[in-house]
Structure 1
Amino acid sequence: MAGIRQVDAPVGRRPWWTQLYVQVLVAITLGALIGHVWPATGEALKPLGDAFIKLVKMIIAPVIFLTVVTGIAGMRDLSKVGGVAGKAFAYFIVVSSFALLVGLVVANVVRPGAGMNIDPASLDPAVVAGYASKSHDMTIVGFLMDIIPSTVAGAFVDGNILQVLFFSIPFGLALAMIGDRGQPALDVLNSVGEAFFRLVAIFMRAAPVGAFGAFAFTVGKYGIESILSLAALVGTFYATSLIFVLVVLGAIAAANGFSILKLIRYLKEELLLVLGTSSSEAALPSLMEKMERAGAAKPVVGLVVPTGYSFNLDGTNIYMTLAALFIAQAVGIDLSLQEQLLLLAVAMLSSKGAAGVTGAGFITLAATLQVVPSVPVAGMALILGVDRFMSECRALTNFIGNAVATLVVSRWEGQLDRERLAEVLAGRPAPVAAPPVEADAD
């Protein structure tokens, strides 16, 4: 199977200060320090973070297109495409639903909003009016219609991941169907793909600058003190997400033959980048490259990672049920079991409409609360000040969840090179190019 060549770092150990994850960690620390000591300066550094995220978003659409098309066109058995998609969506539905349930259970047990005794009449609806208005557009029908681009070029111009995927899959199938006549085009796309992944590596060198600016702005704008005022909610959310990653995703990983801790170590550079920018999209191209380097088949990577960014939002789902019950508890509203189950069902559907929306978690929460009238939407004003800090945890959890999903679905398809995965997760450098894997021992 033809594939985009992956270029790895030299085998020799580089000095620690040249490691990207070290540079990003230092940048985050400096950004937090500047934002805390000189808040105005921290806010003024926001363009650095915004510029880096725009830089990465600029290449996400072509990276997805090239990976999906070359992966599908290089498959000898096109019936496998449907199998990959079916197994991926089954995984997304089960794990995402469980994430919602975990948030619901933790909120009922810990009750982080209990005792605040907020008068609903004292809340200012205007504070969250902008988010509520955006949530009106997030209907299921509107979401499905938005997957179809108005034009082919429009999907790439707008950078809509699902629209690019919607075009890439049938194009890859069409290229495969014309057989040998499509090989010259496939060779060109593979070469272009190599260039784009090299471009990803170049752009990633600017990650410390982007993380520095984004974190300085966050601390300068909202202040570290803003976390303390709602420490119960923030602490509960972080603890719940950590438990979900280590226990739930850890169990899924162990059942499929790999360690969640080793996977996190393997993705440490990307995770620090996500932490610094509060955006999992900033690390999407790098995640696709690393999953393929770790032994996952390219067609699986090309289908699971982009769709997972819209349909496998574990961190966002935990946040939605936990935050909704926090608001209800803070204003003294006791939700019945039926109302909580309705909240869970609505959240499962509305979370799928959050793809590509800035501040997606907060907007999706507004959409969910509008369908559950027992909880006032104006109550979202209580968590608006700390939502930015929770968005980092949402993005980290979503990112790890999609990495696990990619490896699991690849294994289910019999297209996971387990020896290669074990070597990579053990910290041994992968070969320059991964051989095609058609089946494993299952």
Structure 2
Amino acid sequence: MTGEVAMADLDAPVTAGQPLWRHIYIQVLVAILLGVIVGELWPAFGVALKPFGDGFVKLVRMIIAPVIFLTIVSGIAHLRHLGELGRIVLKAFAYFLTMSTFALILGLVVANVVQPGAGMHIDPATLDSAKIADYASKAHDQSVVGFILAIIPQTLLGALAEGEILQVLFVAILVGIAIALVGDRAAPVLAVVESGEAIVFRLVAILMKAAPIGAFGAMAFTIGQYGIGVLASLAGLVATFYLTSLLFVLVVLGLVARLAGFSIIRLIRYLAPELLLVLGTSSSEAALPSLIGKLEHAGCARPVVGLVVPTGYSFNLDGTNIYMTLAALFIAQACGIHLSLGQQLLLLGVAMLSSKGAAGVTGAGFITLAATLSIVPSVPVAGMALILGIDRFMSECRSLTNFVGNAVATIVVARWEGELDRDQLARTLSGRLPVLRA
């Protein structure tokens, strides 16, 4: 499969006689550890390394638009019937809605049981709202109508030029449908698309060689800028969020995976290189091209992968949903504000909508929280200043949870559609079908 090239170098099997240091899996892990050490011992130098992390993420984002466009166009053009397209999308959104609801409810329950913000006795009037003014203004700009209109690009090529995921998704679906309707006369165009897909995935493999440098720079900056010590005062919230996300992945997604016929632990092990990359860069987008290739290799049909993965990156944000309800109740508890059950359910409903309205926005987790709190007046938006300093640490957990959630979603939808090679999935996750070097 074409997509295998994207992650061939990132997940090549460790063979006897081959040095471990030659595998990017090991290189990324070592880079993260070195980044933590450098950021802690030489914080100023660690902060100065920020461009390495930013540069790598920009390199990957540069290639995301063509990867999504070519994958979706090729996938839709190969559908036997266009009715499959609508069916896949409907099943994907049904899954997204269900999992988002579970994630929001879990965050709400854990916040009420653990109460990480209780006893802080923060006076909302003393909070510096200027720190979160920029996030609040971006959240204010997110409306349902504006969100829908923003999906439509100014020009057909504008979507690729701007790199907005939802715009690229929209244009790719239209082009794929058009090619499928034209039929045999579009065969030369489809051949060009497939050749372009092979070239783009080869480019991804080349860019992935810079993953250790990006992970090192991003981690060194994070620790150098905020320090490990900043977690001390708010360690309860951070620990609660990480444990809740772990609970969601292992129990909720684990149960979904078992019902779909695979092991969540084996899937996590299979995606370990990408998860390390997400951890190092705090961006799930950095591993998007590799995820597409790996899911195809694991037996998911290309049309399903091409539609569910990019859509899930905007609409299936399990980690972000857990964060929103947990953080909102933390702020309320820290400020001594009691929320009734009705108010908490209102908060959950608003969070469900705002998480979709802020999809695709840079810093979506924090911006979405601002959007939610601005609609629910019971909790002061200024309270977000309490968690601004540790949001970077929680963003890593959000990205990891979102990433695993989208991988599970793709396999489940593929199985529902009968587009999953279950034997190939079993052999891949068990390591009996290794990914070979391209």
Normalised to the residue count of structure 2, the TM-score between the two structures is 0.96
Match status 1:6 vs 2:9? no
- Code of the residue aligned with 1:372 in structure 2: it is V
In structure 1, the partner of 2:307 is 303
Match status 1:155 vs 2:159? yes
| Structure 1 unaligned regions, length at least 5 | 434-442
What's the CA shift string for 1:75-119, capped at 9, x where partnerless? 222211111000000000000111000000000000000000111
Provide the C-alpha distance between the structure 2 equivalents of 1:319 and 1:302, rounded to a whole number of angstroms.
Answer: 27
**Pick aligned residue for 1:286 from 278, 287, 290:** 290
- Code of the residue aligned with 1:145 in structure 2: it is L
In structure 1, the partner of 2:48 is 44
SS in 1 for 2:4: coil
Q: Is the contact made by 1:5 and 1:432 (CA closer than 8 Å) also made in structure 2?
A: no
* Cα shift at 1:4: 3.6
**Pick aligned residue for 2:24 from 20, 25, 31:** 20
In structure 2, the partner of 1:95 is 99
Match status 1:371 vs 2:375? yes
Q: 1:256 to 1:230 in 2, by over 3 A?
A: same
- Code of the residue aligned with 2:302 in structure 1: it is K
Match status 1:35 vs 2:10? no
Q: 1:410 to 1:66 in 2, by over 3 A?
A: same
- Code of the residue aligned with 2:394 in structure 1: it is M
Match status 1:209 vs 2:207? no
Provide the C-alpha distance between the structure 1 equivalents of 2:362 and 2:35, rounded to a whole number of angstroms.
Answer: 22
The structure 1 segments of at least 4 consecutive aligned residues displaced by more than 3 Å after TM superposition are 3-12, 429-433
Q: 1:401 to 1:377 in 2, by over 3 A?
A: same
Provide the C-alpha distance between the structure 1 equivalents of 2:434 and 2:419, rounded to a whole number of angstroms.
Answer: 17
Q: Is the contact made by 1:293 and 1:430 (CA closer than 8 Å) also made in structure 2?
A: no
Q: Is the contact made by 2:324 and 2:351 (CA closer than 8 Å) also made in structure 1?
A: yes
In structure 1, the partner of 2:226 is 222
In structure 2, the partner of 1:255 is 259
Q: Is the contact made by 2:139 and 2:358 (CA closer than 8 Å) also made in structure 1?
A: no
Match status 1:332 vs 2:330? no
- Code of the residue aligned with 1:388 in structure 2: it is R
Provide the C-alpha distance between the structure 2 equivalents of 1:291 and 1:178, rounded to a whole number of angstroms.
Answer: 29
Counterparts of residues 99-178 of structure 1 (less than 5 Å) = 99-178=103-182
**Pick aligned residue for 1:273 from 274, 277, 282:** 277
**Pick aligned residue for 1:401 from 398, 402, 405:** 405
Q: 1:339 to 1:5 in 2, by over 3 A?
A: closer
- Code of the residue aligned with 2:202 in structure 1: it is R
Provide the C-alpha distance between the structure 2 equivalents of 1:189 and 1:131, rounded to a whole number of angstroms.
Answer: 39
User: Greater CA deviation, 159-168 or 149-158?
Assistant: 149-158
Q: Is the contact made by 1:114 and 1:329 (CA closer than 8 Å) also made in structure 2?
A: yes
Q: 1:242 to 1:95 in 2, by over 3 A?
A: same
* Cα shift at 1:12: 7.1
Normalised to the residue count of structure 1, the TM-score between the two structures is 0.95
* Cα shift at 1:5: 6.3
* Cα shift at 1:355: 2.3
SS in 1 for 2:157: helix
Q: Is the contact made by 1:70 and 1:172 (CA closer than 8 Å) also made in structure 2?
A: yes
* Cα shift at 1:188: 1.3
Provide the C-alpha distance between the structure 2 equivalents of 1:11 and 1:285, rounded to a whole number of angstroms.
Answer: 19
Q: Is the contact made by 2:305 and 2:410 (CA closer than 8 Å) also made in structure 1?
A: yes
What's the CA shift string for 1:187-209, capped at 9, x where partnerless? 11111101111111111111000
Q: Is the contact made by 2:253 and 2:264 (CA closer than 8 Å) also made in structure 1?
A: yes
Q: Is the contact made by 1:97 and 1:348 (CA closer than 8 Å) also made in structure 2?
A: yes
Match status 1:197 vs 2:192? no
Q: Is the contact made by 2:159 and 2:168 (CA closer than 8 Å) also made in structure 1?
A: yes
What's the CA shift string for 1:197-223, capped at 9, x where partnerless? 111111111100000000000000011
In structure 2, the partner of 1:439 is none
SS in 1 for 2:300: coil
Match status 1:411 vs 2:415? yes
Provide the C-alpha distance between the structure 1 equivalents of 2:13 and 2:58, rounded to a whole number of angstroms.
Answer: 32
Q: 1:431 to 1:17 in 2, by over 3 A?
A: closer
Q: 1:132 to 1:401 in 2, by over 3 A?
A: same
SS in 2 for 1:316: helix
* Cα shift at 1:353: 2.1
Paired residues, number:
431
Provide the C-alpha distance between the structure 1 equivalents of 2:111 and 2:289, rounded to a whole number of angstroms.
Answer: 34
- Code of the residue aligned with 2:130 in structure 1: it is A
